[in-house]
Amino acid sequence: MSSVDETLAFDPSREQRIKLLKGAMPFEPLSDELLGKIADIATTERVAKGAVIYQVGDPAKDLFVIANGQVEHALGPGAEATVLVKVVGRGDVIGWAALLKDRSRRLAKTTALVDCQLLRISGDQLMDVLSEDPEVAQDVLSRWAKMIIEDFTVPRWLAQVKDAPGRGEDGGPQTTSHLSGAALFWYRFSKWLTSPRPYLMLIGFAAFFGSWFVLSEVIHFWRFDNLPGPREVLIEWFNPDPIYGLSIYTPEYYDHIWWSIRRILIAFAIATGLGVPVGLFLGWSKKFREYVFPIFETLRPIPVLAWVPLAIIMFLSVEGPVIFLATLASFYATALNTMLGVESIEESYPRAAACLGASKWQIFRHVVIPGALPYVFTGLQISVGVAWFSLVAAEMVSGQYGLGYVINNSYTNVRYPTIVIGMITLGVVGYISSALIRMLGDYMMQWRVRELALGGQ
């Protein structure tokens, strides 16, 4: 039980409480209005020297902001921290277990080293206040997790704060899953619209298509004599009765897109399922790397088109060679970037985990895999681009459907506008696939997105 001396309670002004909260790192992004509401739910207490504020196992319902004095914060063995004892002072926050997921008990013992003055804030009431501004709440809780990890050196898996609250369209409660989904997407999208980026993007596209129009249709630059201009391509693309038989109004157009997407999904899934584990073991196990990496590096430089004859011989089906060729190049990009991700992890992290009694599997699961994820998703973005490149080459050689087949067949039959339609469609679909992987990476690595934001990057 807490031994805070209630008889010594004091009551600073509301303005003083707001000022104190604003100086505490997790509360910095909050507006004065929200800080005032938190100050209103905070109670003030005085703790005598040597008094125990709370100890391991006590109910974790409130958190405290130190107004004056110093407190010794000693984490219990269940916290699995590298630094167990820390002295904190004015502006520091203790009692953060009240905001952790699946934690209802204290993880530490805190003792007043001198006479102290504290603000006590109910964790549940604080979450209710934060629910009034879900985007800011996301930032505050991210700062909280970062503070716990850095200041108290506890593992990331332990410092999982509660879901950022919000309000749904019906006024009811909304969890982080909603915030990090549609609400967070629209918030980021609105921020993007108010930035210079979309307008710079439009200028870039305008410059590209404008140059194409001028060179091919205005000054008739000799290199563009046989190429269709943008007007000719657009007329054919949006023509209900296309001259060359392919436009947005023809079912065949969407059939070709679907065949390419289907092949990419299969190839990308195989490349990811094989490439990520191989890359993890290449970076983690020296013995595995000595056996496998020389073969890996010997095969990796071989161009995809060089594998075409063997792919046709190995796979008797029509689809087999195409998917194999798309998988091959994608696999190398995924495995190599995953290996680099494992190698980028500082040796001190696995060693610290081992010193704390973690098994090799626990180190691999909680240190190696999360540490490599940024490189893994970078590799996946490169991988899907390489997969599209390889797929088009494969469809040109042995495919019967798909965007690569469209481009090659159009060239053979002198349908130049259709070539450009296939190329632009390929670029749009490829861009969307890369964007989806980036979104998935941001969703799975929200901790990294928040750290970059907190670091000003």
pLDDT digits (tens, 9 = 90+) for 282-318: 998 888 999 999 999 999 899 888 888 888 888 878 7
More confident residue, 187 or 35: 35
- For residue 298, tell me if it sits in a domain: yes
Asked whether residue 183 is assigned to any structural domain, the reply reads no
CA 409, 411, 416, 417 dihedral sign is positive
CB 168 within 8 A of CB 180: no
pLDDT at 56 exceeding the cut of 70: yes
428 pLDDT band, cuts 50/70/90, is: very high
State the pLDDT at residue 80. 62
Question: Whole-angstrom Cα distance, residue 416 to residue 35?
Answer: 64
- Output 27 or 334, whichever has higher pLDDT: 334
What CATH number does the domain containing 321 carry? 1.10.3720.10
Rounded-to-integer distance, Cα 285 and Cα 277, Å: 12
The alpha carbon torsion through 283, 286, 292, 293 (nearest 10 deg) reads: 60
> Token pair 């194409």 is at which residue?
212
Identify whether residues 33 and 148 lie together within a single domain. yes
List the single range of 186-195, 253-262, 342-351 with lowest mean pLDDT: 186-195
Phi/psi of residue 336, each to 5°?
-65, -45
Residues 128 and 248 in one domain: no
| Dist. CA 152–CA 29, nearest whole Å | 22
pLDDT confidence of residue 429: 93
Identify whether residues 325 and 420 lie together within a single domain: yes
Residue 399 forms part of a structural domain? yes
Q: pLDDT exceeding 90 applies to what percent of the chain? A: 24
pLDDT in tens, 221-234: 888 888 898 999 99
Domain boundary among 147, 162, 177: 162
3 state DSSP class of 63: strand
Cβ-based neighbour number of residue 298 at 10 Å: 9
Look at strands 173-174 and 108-112 and give their pairing.
unpaired
pLDDT in tens, 65-92: 998 889 998 887 666 666 678 888 888 8
Q: For residues 237 and 383, state if they share a domain.
A: yes
Mean predicted confidence (pLDDT) in 261-271: 93
Can you give the residue range of the structural domain that contains 277?
A: 228-454
Domain holding 86: CATH number?
A: 2.60.120.10
Beta bridge partners of 119: 44, 65
429 inside domain = yes
Q: Which two tokens stand for residue 365?
A: 């699961």
- Split at pLDDT 50, 70, 90, the class of 251 is very high
The verdict on 131 and 258 lying in the same domain is no
pLDDT of 258:
94
Identity of residue 6: E
Q: Which residues are within 8 A (CB) of 347 and not within 5 positions of it... i.e. 6 or more apart?
A: none
Tell me which of 167-176, 237-246, 356-365, 369-378 is least confident.
167-176
Torsion of CA 10, 11, 17, 21, to 10 degrees: 30
Instruction: Assess whether 267 and 150 both reside in one domain.
Output: no
Q: Please state the rounded mean pLDDT for residues 366-383.
A: 85
CA distances, 380 to each of 165, 209, 384 (Å): 32, 30, 6
Q: Please, which residues have CB within 8 angstroms of residue 392's CB and are 6 or more apart in sequence?
A: 260, 402, 403, 404, 407, 426
Q: Is residue 340 part of a domain?
A: yes
| Residue 368 resides in a domain | yes
Taken as a whole, the chain contains a residue count of 457
Please identify, among 162, 191, 216, the residue that sits at the C-terminal boundary of a domain: 162
105 and 242 in a single domain? The answer is no
Cβ contacts of 398 within 8 Å, gap of 6 or more: 308, 311, 312, 318, 321, 322
Locate the DSSP E strands across 164-248. Answer: 166-167, 173-174
User: Does one domain contain both 256 and 154?
Assistant: no
- Residues 137 and 255 reside in one and the same domain: no
Dihedrals phi, psi of 94, to nearest 5 degrees: -125, 165
Q: Chain-wide mean pLDDT for the chain?
A: 81
Do 289 and 400 belong together in one domain? yes
User: Does one domain contain both 103 and 235?
Assistant: no
Q: Does some domain include residue 381?
A: yes
265, pLDDT greater than 90 = yes
According to the per-residue pLDDT averaged within each range, which of 4-13, 164-173, 208-217 is highest? 208-217
Mark which of 145, 162, 179 sits at the end of a domain: 162
The per-residue pLDDT for 167 is 46
- Determine, yes or no, domain membership for 89: yes
What is the pLDDT at residue 9? 42
Distance of CA 295 to the CA centre of its chain: 32
pLDDT tens track for 317-349: 878 888 999 998 899 999 999 999 898 888 887
What mean pLDDT is predicted for residues 406-434? Answer: 91
User: Residue 441's pLDDT is what?
Assistant: 76
Contact 69, 113 (CB under 8 A): yes
- How many folded domains does the chain comprise? 2
CB atoms within 10 A of CB 160: 17
Amino acid sitting at position 168: G
- Cα distances (angstroms) measured from residue 195 to each of 154, 192, 370: 37, 5, 31
Name the token pair of 41.
């739910």
pLDDT for the residue numbered 248: 92
- Cβ-in-10-Å burial (0-12, 13-18, 19+) of 357 comes to exposed
Comparing 71-85, 192-206, 253-267, the range with the smallest average pLDDT is 71-85
Query: Tens digit of pLDDT for each residue in 98-155?
Result: 888 767 788 888 999 999 989 899 988 888 888 777 767 777 777 777 777 766 666 6
